[in-house]
Amino acid sequence: MPNPKRRHSQQRSAKRRTHYKAFADTLSTDSVTGEVHLRHRAHWVENKLYYKGKVVLEKQNAAK
């Protein structure tokens, strides 16, 4: 397996790492419920799972 003959400089490593960035999550407001949620993710509101403004799943209460 090939190995470098000499050590790479810190500047060379830093130049490569300048493109690593942390991005803030993109938030959206649901037009139906008004809830703020992560984009392209389902979210719970009052025991209902919403995705793209539609109810996908309803949670049943265990205690009756």
pLDDT in tens, the chain (64 residues): 888 888 888 898 888 888 888 888 999 998 888 999 999 999 999 999 999 889 999 988 766 5
- C-alpha closest to that of 31 among 18, 45, 20, 17: 45
- Quick check: is 60 in a domain? yes
- Quick check: is 3 in a domain? no
Query: What is the model's pLDDT at position 22?
Result: 85
- Quick check: is 22 in a domain? no
Whole-Å CA distances, 23 to 2, 12, 13, 14: 35, 24, 21, 19
Domain extent, residue 32, equals 27-64
Alpha helix stretches (DSSP H) within 1-64: 10-17
Whole-prediction pTM: 0.57
Query: What is the model's pLDDT at position 15?
Result: 87
- Quick check: is 43 in a domain? yes
- Quick check: is 13 in a domain? no
Tell me how many domains the chain contains.
1
